[in-house]
Amino acid sequence: MFLAGKIRERINAELSPERAKHIFAVEEEAQALCKILNCTEYYEDLSYAALLHDITKEKDYKEQLKLCEKYNIVLSDEDILSPKTIHAITASAVAKNEYGMKDIICSAIQYHTTGRCDMTLFEKILFIADYIEKTREETACKYAREQFYSEIEGVSDIESRMVALDRVVLLSLGQTIKYLAEKNLYINSGTFNARNRLCLSIYPEKNNYQKKD
């Protein structure tokens, strides 16, 4: 983990103490979730994903565009309509181009803000670790954290814990959609798609949805 140490040094040097604190808390939360969900094979990769997920978040819009140019990123109309999500795209490019991170890590970083349809387990862990890590003070984040940890309390089978993970990801997506809607802000289609897919897989009866084999 020599590289992780280097990235930690960069975080402390380039980002605000608040952001660094958040990033290290996301790493801790992601690793706790690995143990809870019995997927410790992701431990190291999730550590990298957590450390790099917000590496460009404090850059302003102009700087984000410069990074896009540097890494040949063509932003979609949607990306431009939801500028707060652009840091996820540029952070993913930094992970790939500056650190040679593998696709599983870059993809989780890219979708950690919006979510997307059919998120992988790895993507869900980074996504929710970012939302429920213990230093977050927002009511919605605290509520999601409490819901998840109370649902898994005393539950040892992994399948039920995976459902609890899906439920908390669904909850957080719903809360984000509500928050953006109340502020009359554009909502990225990835967020709707992630939410709808989880809704269908967790509550097939409610949605009259027959899962195909």
Q: How far apart are CA 173 and CA 179, in angstroms?
A: 10
Which region among 36-44, 49-57, 58-66, 115-123 touches Fe ion (by CB under 5 A)?
A: 49-57
Q: How far apart are CA 107 and CA 93, in angstroms?
A: 10
Determine which residue in the list 29, 45, 54, 123 makes contact with Fe ion, applying CB under 5 A.
Answer: 54
Quote the least distance from Cβ 109 to Fe ion, whole Å: 10
* CB burial string 17-37: b at 16+ within 10 A, e below: eeebebbbbbbbbbbebbebb
Which region among 5-13, 47-55, 64-72, 78-86 touches Fe ion (by CB under 5 A)?
A: 47-55
Task: Retrieve residue 101's tokens.
Answer: 């991170």
Looking at beta carbons only, is 29 or 130 nearer to Fe ion?
A: 130
C-alpha pair distances (Å), 73 with each of 121, 129, 167: 26, 26, 33
Q: How far apart are CA 8 and CA 6, in angstroms?
A: 5
The reply on whether position 27 binds Fe ion by CB under 5 A is no
The reply on whether position 133 binds Fe ion by CB under 5 A is no
Quote the least distance from Cβ 191 to Fe ion, whole Å: 15
Quote the least distance from Cβ 124 to Fe ion, whole Å: 15
Quote the least distance from Cβ 168 to Fe ion, whole Å: 16
Looking at beta carbons only, is 20 or 177 nearer to Fe ion?
A: 20
Quote the least distance from Cβ 200 to Fe ion, whole Å: 27
SS (H, E, C) 88-103: HHHHHHHHHHHHCCCH
The reply on whether position 130 binds Fe ion by CB under 5 A is yes
Q: How far apart are CA 201 and CA 53, in angstroms?
A: 27
Looking at beta carbons only, is 19 or 196 nearer to Fe ion?
A: 19
Please report, to the nearest 10 degrees, the dihedral formed by the alpha carbons of residues 195, 76, 89, 30 taken in order: 0
Quote the least distance from Cβ 99 to Fe ion, whole Å: 17
The reply on whether position 123 binds Fe ion by CB under 5 A is no
Residues that bind Fe ion (CB under 5 A): 54, 130
